[in-house]
Amino acid sequence: MDSRRDFLQKLTLSAMGLPLISLSGSPDMAAFYREPYEGPVLRVAIMGLGSYGTRVAEAMQDSQKAKLVGVISGTPSKIKDWQSKYNIPAKNCYNYENFDQIKDNPDIDAVYVITPNGLHHDQVIRVAKAGKHAICEKPMAVNAKEGQEMVDACKKANVKLLVGYRMHFEPKTLEIIRMREAGEFGKIMFFQGLTGFKIGDPNQWRLNKELAGGGAMMDIGIYSVNGARYMVGEEPVWVTAQETKTDPDKFKAGVDETIQFQLGFPSGAVASCLSTYSMGNLDRFFLNGQQGYAELHPATGYGPIKGRTHKGELNQPHQTHQTVQMDEMAGIILESKKPVVPVDGEEGLKDLKIIDAIYLAANTGEKVSLKL
């Protein structure tokens, strides 16, 4: 302890000769001055080593409470590359056929499933049966029936099921939620969620009904579904929806190109949302109350998120979403922490019930009642 105190005193004296700096604007410097973490660490294996799996792995290098210790992939060359890059031992590497063997590996606490939507159900259930906690990318499954089976399997195995809702930990998003809960917007009247982009390669898995479970709604649209719930602060009781398809060759049967949907809430608030694979420059949330408003634009990208309310600009510092998410999820799994907005399987299941209803409403033209 004395040596640490001496070091800190010398560091302080040295810093007196330096110009003042703002730690809030410099995540790297803020991390430098952060106290070393000495608590429990969640040891994670990533399943699915694609672009987003890589993003999570990179972000985890800065996590304090979560550590990448294993990989699961169907591509041997990727496993070899990750072993080298992240110093992963061979005994913690698996493929999609043998990963059930993780049940005998005490070095892995949780598996983060980052594979196509249509594979989540079976893979998460296998992880649960192996006695490991499961983190699953969103949407959790391709429909509510599968989602319920995943929730039930994890409960039966006495493991936690979390969903990759990174925005639930984003500072500007949380500030808007705080303001709403404090009554600073007054009675909430309206929410608008615009989510979409122009999708590229027509042969990618996101346009394959079996792997994706749908189209834009099962990819980018879930952000508006979930965002409507945490921004309004209520659960919807009805939904209406309309589908538009301009390119049936690219967007086959069961793969939605554009869906507009509306949600009604018990208080009388309404939401109007857009999910699309054929328009860019969207990613906008707008919340309107009788006494104020909040806007995020961009609202769900990797950041930095930008926002303002009737009181002015939101200036909470940007943090890498996946780093924060993994630290917070480690706290949930290891310390039973309670997040402001849930990220558990039940939360994911509610979104799936809404998405099921959106597809039904779009197909029938009817208003569909919801009971979450």
One of 65, 94, 112, 138 is an active-site residue; which one?
138
Q: How confident is the model at residue 274 (pLDDT cuts 50, 70, 90)?
A: very high
pLDDT at 34: 62
pTM for the model stands at: 0.91
Mean pLDDT across the stretch 168-183?
A: 98
pLDDT at 64: 97
The ranges assigned to domains in the chain are 167-317+344-369
pLDDT at 25: 40
**Is 250 in the active site?**
no
d(CA 192, CA 231): 10
User: For the chain, first and last CA: distance in Å?
Assistant: 53
Nearest to 142 by CA among 159, 122, 166: 122
Query: CATH homologous superfamily of domain 167-317+344-369?
Result: Dihydrodipicolinate Reductase; domain 2 (3.30.360.10)
Token pair of 58 as six digits: 């990179």
pLDDT in tens, 148-160: 999 999 999 999 9
In this model, does residue 206 exceed pLDDT 70? yes
* Helices H / strands E in the chain, number of each: 11, 15
Token pair of 112 as six digits: 């983060």
pLDDT at 100: 98
pLDDT at 35: 75
More confident residue, 320 or 17: 320
Q: What is the DSSP string of 137-167?
A: PSSSSSSHHHHHHHHHHHHHTT--EEE--GG
More confident residue, 90 or 14: 90
pLDDT in tens, 359-370: 999 999 999 999
Residue 203 CB burial class (10 angstroms; 0-12, 13-18, ≥19): exposed
Q: Give the lowest-confidence range in 4-13, 188-197, 346-355.
A: 4-13
d(CA 192, CA 274): 8
In the sheet that holds 284-289, the strands lie side by side as 312-313, 307-309, 293-296, 284-289, 188-196, 270-276, 258-264, 238-244, 368-369
**Is 338 in the active site?**
no
